[in-house]
Chains A and B, each alone.
Chain A
Amino acid sequence: MNSLVLGLVGLGLLLGLIVVRVPIAYTMLLVGIGGVAIQSGPFIVLNQLKDLAYAQFANYDLSVLPMFLLMGGLAARSGLSTDLFRAAHAWFGRFRGGVAMAAVAACAGFGAVCGSSTATASTMGQVALPELRRYKYSDALATGTLAAGGTLGILIPPSVVLIVYAIIVEVNIVTMFAAALIPGLIATAMFLVTVALYSRFVSGAGPKGEPVSAAELWSASINVIPVLVVFAIVIGGIYAGIYNPTAAAAIGVFLVLAYGVAARRLSLAGIRDSLLDTARTGGMIFLILLGAELLKIFMSRAGVPQAGAEMLQASGLQPMAILLLVIFAFLLLGCLMDSLSMIILAIPFFWPVIAGLDFGLTPNDTKIWFGIIILIVVELGLITPPVGLNVFIISAMAKDVPMRETFKGVMPFFGAEVVRIALLIAFPAITLFLPHLLR
C-alpha cells in the first residue's frame, strides 16, 4: 500500500474509533502502534515499546504538569476562591451587575493559581452561584458569567493547555506564560465590560448590590494577600528567571499546601481528593501524550501532515486566509472535543501548515502568537454548544436552569472573545510584547 494511503486509512480509523467512544488516548496509541508495525514491521515498534513510555514520561519539562494540577487541586480546596470572591464582591458589588463582575474578577484571580478551566469553573461556581442567586441575577447572566469566567483558568498563566502546546511545538514554557499574561488581562477586562453592558441593556438581569463598609473592604482585601503572594512567587519567579517552571510549580504546591494546613482550611479529605484529581487528569494527559508520540511516528512517516501542508500552500491562498481556515477548523473541533485532546491531537497536523507560512514574524514568534490564538479558540470550545464542558459543569450546579439559558448567557462573552481573537491577530505585538521584554 502507498504510504500516504496507509496514513489516511489510519487517520480514518482513528476518527471512526473516536466516534464510537473509544477513549482518544487508546485510539491514538493502538492506531499509532499498528500503523508503525505495518510500515516497518512489528519488530521495531515492539522494541521501542520496551522503554518508550518510560522515556516519554521521565521528562523534566512534563513533570511541571502533575505539579500544577496538584497545586490547582489544593488551591480549590483551601478556600482561596471564597477569599477572592469576597474581596472582588467588596470592590465591585455596589455597581450594576457587580456580583457577576466580582465573579469574573475572582475567576481571573483563581486562574492565576490554577491552570485548569474546569477546576476554575467548578470552584468559583460553588462560591459565586449562591450569591448571584441571592441577588436575583437572571439565570442566563449568572450561569453564563461563571461558565465563561471559568475559561480564565487557562487563559491566565499557569495554564495546563499552554504547557502541553509548548511541549508539542517545542517552544519555551516561560515564553508562553509571558505571552499569555497580557491577553489574559485583556480577556478579564473585556468580560467585565461585557457584564456591565449586559446588565445595562437587559433590564433586571444584573441588579445593583449594596455598598460595603470601609472595614469590610479593607478586611476582604487583606484576605487575598495569600493568593497574590503565591502568584507573585510562582509566576513572578518564572518571569524573572529565578527558577524554571517545574521548580515554580513545586514551590506553588508547597505554598498552597502549607497555607491550607496552617490556616486549618485543608482537611485530610481535601488533600486526598486533590491527589486523586491529579491522578485522573495527569494520567489522562500523559496517556494522550504517549499516544500522540506514537501517532506522530506513524503519521510523519506516512507523510500525512506534510501532504496537508503542501496542499494548502499550493492552493495559493493568502497566509491570513489559511490561518482563518485553521482557526475555523479548531472552532468546529472545539464544539465536539475537550481542549486538551484537541491540542494534542490536532496541533501536530496543523502546526506544520502554519509553520510554512510567512506572517512577517520570526519562526519562534509565530509559534508564540499562534499558540495564544489557538489557546483562545480551544477555550471557546468549553463554552460553545453542543459540547461545552464549562457549561455542563455550571448546569450541573444550577439544576433548575435549562442548559439553553446558560448557552444564551455565554453568547455575549463569546462575542467578546471573537473581538479579542481579531485584536490579537491584527496586532501580534499584544502577545509578543512581554516575551520580547523578558528575553
Chain B
Amino acid sequence: MSKIPGRQAETGDKPPVTPVLAQIAALIASLSRWWAMTGGVLILILSVMAAASAASNLFFGRPFSADHELVKHVTAIAIFMFLPYCQISGANITLDFFTDGLSERAKQAMSAFSSLFALAFAVLLFVQMLQGFQSYIRFQEVTPVLRLPLWTAFPPILISLALLAAASFINLAEGLRRVQNPQYESGAERS
C-alpha cells in the first residue's frame, strides 16, 4: 500500500487537487495488484501440483487423474484475475511510435480515449458472462474426473471483470483529469 495521498494536505502548503479520485484510484490499483498476485499464487500452486503429477507418472506410472482439468480450469480463472492489474499498470501493449511527437496533453487524451475501450469491453463481457454464469448454473456442466461444476469459474471471473471495469474507469477519470490539469498526480500510478 502506498502513502495516503491525502496526507500531503496536512504537511504541504497547497491542498491536493482531488484527493478523493486519487484515493479511489490508489485503492483500485492496490486491489488489482493483490487480486493479480492471488492469481499468480494459483499458477504457482498449479505448477507444483502438475509437477507432482508428472513425477508420480514418471516413477509410479500414475499421474493425478484430475491434473489436466484442474490446470485448464484454474489457469482460466487466474488469467482473468490478471486483467485488472494489466489495465491499471499499463501492461497492455500499445503502438506509441506514430504519436511519440505529440504533446503530453494529446497523449493523455489518447490514453483516456483508450480506457474507454477497455471499459466498454469489461462491461460488455461482465453482462454477457453473468448470463453465462446463470445458464451454467441452470444447465450444469462438470469436469470429467472431479465432477467440478464449470460455473465455479464464473464468480472469480465476474469479480475480475468488475475490477477491470473499475480499473478502466479510474484510468479514464484520471486521464481526463490530466488533460485538464497536467499537474494532477495519479493515485493509480503512485500506488
Contacts and interface: CB of A to CB of B under 8 A. Distances in A.
B86 interface: yes
A283 B82 contact: yes
Contacts of A58: 72-73, 75-76, 153
A239 B177 CA distance: 54
B53 interface: yes
Contacts of B135: 50
Contact of A276 (B37, B44, B94, B150): B37
A23 B118 contact: yes
A394 B113 CA distance: 31
Interface string A362-383: 0000000000000000000000
Contacts of A26: 92, 114, 117-118, 121
A59 to B, nearest CB: 7
B94 A279 contact: no
Contacts of A341: 93
A33 interface: yes
B10 interface: no
A106 to B, nearest CB: 26
Contact of A62 (B33, B75, B120, B132): B75
Interface in A210-249: 242-243, 246-249
A312 to B, nearest CB: 25
A19 B99 contact: yes
Contacts of A272: 37
B84 to A, nearest CB: 9
Interface stretch (A63-71, A144-152, A430-438): A63-71
A251 B58 CA distance: 12
Contact of A254 (B48, B86, B111): B48
A18 interface: yes
Interface in B93-129: 93-99, 107, 110-111, 113-114, 117-118, 120-121, 124-125, 128-129
A257 B44 contact: yes
A257 B46 CA distance: 13
B140 interface: no
Interface size class of B (residues with CB under 8 A): 35 or more
A66 B97 contact: no
A114 to B, nearest CB: 15
A21 B36 contact: no
A33 B91 CA distance: 22
B75 A23 contact: no
Nearest to A73: B40
A329 to B, nearest CB: 16
B43, B47, B73, B97: which has the most chain A beta carbons within 10 Å?
B47
Given A21-B110, A67-B47, A284-B92, A250 B97 contact: no
Instruction: Describe A's contact surface by its main secondary structure.
Output: helix
Contacts of A122: none
A50 B128 contact: yes
A23 B114 contact: yes
A60 B99 contact: no
A253 to B, nearest CB: 4
Contact-residue size bin, chain A (C-beta under 8 Å from the other chain): 35 or more
A30 B120 contact: yes
Contact of B136 (A19, A51, A280, A387): A51
A178 B83 CA distance: 32
A50 B92 CA distance: 23
B188 interface: no
29 contacts: A17-B117, A18-B95, A20-B113, A21-B94, A21-B95, A23-B118, A24-B92, A50-B129, A50-B135, A54-B129, A57-B79, A60-B71, A63-B46, A63-B71, A63-B72, A67-B46, A70-B43, A243-B54, A243-B58, A247-B50, A251-B50, A253-B44, A254-B51, A275-B40, A276-B37, A278-B40, A279-B40, A279-B81, A280-B89
Interface of B: 33, 36-37, 39-41, 43-44, 46-51, 53-55, 57-58, 68, 71-73, 75-76, 78-83, 85-86, 89, 91-99, 107, 110-111, 113-114, 117-118, 120-121, 124-125, 128-129, 131-132, 135-136, 150, 153-154, 157
Given A54-B153, A54-B157, A338-B93, 5 more contacts: A24-B94, A58-B75, A63-B46, A247-B51, A282-B78
